[in-house]
Structure 1
């Protein structure tokens, strides 16, 4: 049974919204069973309040910061450029696909109305680029070697699908690309009338076939401006009394004009077509456009002695040097016997080589801003 009743003084607080206080003064003398019964009553009264507390909704976490957006962890390199048709007009809606072993899947973007496109967030590495659009042959530029954080500029020319193969899916060959690029280059003129056909502002231009090298050389030597230059030089030579064996008057002027034109035409045709085809070298000057003034000046002068091979590598410019001295040697065939000598042959060859170097410097620093019909996006060496 229970021990002897004990008198206690207690205070019981219930967890209801308004606590119930039971003071010992109300019941001077409580037994243990009474105390247990009072405590049980308070516990039962607190259950609804506890259940209500458990049923309260969790506080909104809308005030917490959002999770961070996805950020490409691979790199900050950029591939950008312009897609044009053979007329040099930007083409919109072209799908540019970039693939690489370092990418989980190919990246597709579309050129805007002006043919511009831009792909960002790329890590350093080699990337394959393909341009495709309805009504055009797909174009595949050379592999892009992208450096860390580099902005790589591309100029892509896409050729319309010939009617005979509209139902055949083909890729434009390097020959087709080179042909389209040469057609654009043959429209380049300084101040609208001086030919600038042998300058490529597209650094990664496709190599020329032998046929294209001959076509380009003939296009230059048959241009009216070439005849005008020969006429001017003949007048200067006659006025200065050069090559007295030609004589004076209109007859002497005609001989000087023929010799002046032959010198340039032979150098251009043999160096830019015959030797360039035989030695597999590109006769064009490739505009650099980037870097310090000193590096660009050295590049321009050096290009008179160093050519780009059809394989894309730098080579001694045998084709142009041989063409210059071939023209100098051939001049002995039409110079008067009095004016023929090995000294004059060597002198003429060196003069032509020096002229090539000076012409290259002008191409690098002066003529680009004065040249019309440069393909959009063609801006020299890629940075």
Structure 2
């Protein structure tokens, strides 16, 4: 309503957001704070307000799962220095890569004793190995060339008789020394390679195996299986299928000594052949690692 005195419109007295000009005196403050001063306060209140329960209960995103790393591959073994695989407590090695060497052990690891069945099985596996047949043919040829057992004569018939005698000698002696007596006396027919030491020390060790061996318990014993087995085999050969002219005690003693000497040479071969085999294979594959020699009995 217009004022009667001045005719100017009336303004409300206490309207908070009045557009009336504030007092311009230097000591006066504006009656109403500017809106721009409220913005910092609202921002601070927003930042300080508690998080809503829904947001507080929201699970944190788990870190991505790390795939398990595969175990490191074992270092490549030198295929050339591998020991022959073990077959029921015996070896699959061959002397000169040909002759069966199944009763040689090249490790110091504790291995169980052979059962009676295993002793007979390994002897049969060796005695009837295909390589043995030409080997006995070779021995028969030497015997015929030296005209041993003259009662067999010469020619094809003499050679056939000598071949049968050589096979019977080797098979009979091997069964007695490595299967029958070791089973009865509970002795270990295997040869444990020494593997370390000087040449002469190892040579003496190999020869001594004709009289010293291990029992199934692991203790050192007199090698009765070798000593008596060769004696029994010599007696069987001399007094059964050898010519009558050779069937006497003297020839039996000579044959017994020959079998012991032959077995001593075999033990020497068993002792040093693994070293020769590893050296030959190392030359063929010089980049491969060198496996340590395996000491033994």
TM-score (norm 2): 0.64
Which protein has the bigger strand share?
1
Confirm whether residue 113 of structure 1 aligns to residue 74 of structure 2: yes
The aligned residue for residue 340 of structure 1 is: 247
The aligned residue for residue 36 of structure 2 is: none
Correspondence 1:144-183 to 2 at 5 A: 181-183=86-88
Confirm whether residue 364 of structure 1 aligns to residue 250 of structure 2: no
| Closer, same or farther: CA 367–348 of 1 in aligned 2, 3 Å | farther
The aligned residue for residue 380 of structure 1 is: 295
Cα distance in 1 between the residues matched to 2:128 and 2:156: 23
Correspondence 1:286-305 to 2 at 5 A: 286-305=192-211
| Closer, same or farther: CA 114–275 of 1 in aligned 2, 3 Å | farther
CA positional deviation for 1:189: 2.0
Cα distance in 1 between the residues matched to 2:115 and 2:86: 12
Cα distance in 1 between the residues matched to 2:119 and 2:202: 26
Cα distance in 2 between the residues matched to 1:209 and 1:181: 15
Confirm whether residue 198 of structure 1 aligns to residue 113 of structure 2: no
Structure 1 residue matching 2:86: 3-state secondary structure: helix
The aligned residue for residue 180 of structure 2 is: 274
Structure 2 residue matching 1:315: 3-state secondary structure: strand
Cα distance in 2 between the residues matched to 1:231 and 1:242: 15
Cα distance in 1 between the residues matched to 2:89 and 2:115: 16
| Closer, same or farther: CA 182–321 of 1 in aligned 2, 3 Å | farther
CA positional deviation for 1:183: 4.3
The aligned residue for residue 93 of structure 2 is: 188
CA positional deviation for 1:199: 0.6
CA positional deviation for 1:325: 1.2
2:96/2:273 contact within 8 Å kept: no
110, 130, 133: which one aligns with 1:224: 130
Cα distance in 1 between the residues matched to 2:113 and 2:96: 27
CA positional deviation for 1:265: 0.3
| Closer, same or farther: CA 112–377 of 1 in aligned 2, 3 Å | farther
TM-score (norm 1): 0.50
Cα distance in 1 between the residues matched to 2:90 and 2:187: 18
Confirm whether residue 211 of structure 1 aligns to residue 128 of structure 2: no
User: How many pairs are equivalent?
Assistant: 210
Cα distance in 1 between the residues matched to 2:91 and 2:191: 14
Structure 2 residue matching 1:224: 3-state secondary structure: coil
Q: For the pair shown, which has the larger CA radius of gyration, 1 or 2? A: 2
The aligned residue for residue 101 of structure 1 is: none
Structure 1 residue matching 2:295: 3-state secondary structure: coil
CA positional deviation for 1:274: 0.5
The aligned residue for residue 162 of structure 2 is: 256
CA positional deviation for 1:206: 2.0
The aligned residue for residue 165 of structure 1 is: none
Root-mean-square deviation over aligned CA pairs = 2.8
Which protein has the bigger helix share?
2
Cα distance in 2 between the residues matched to 1:199 and 1:112: 31
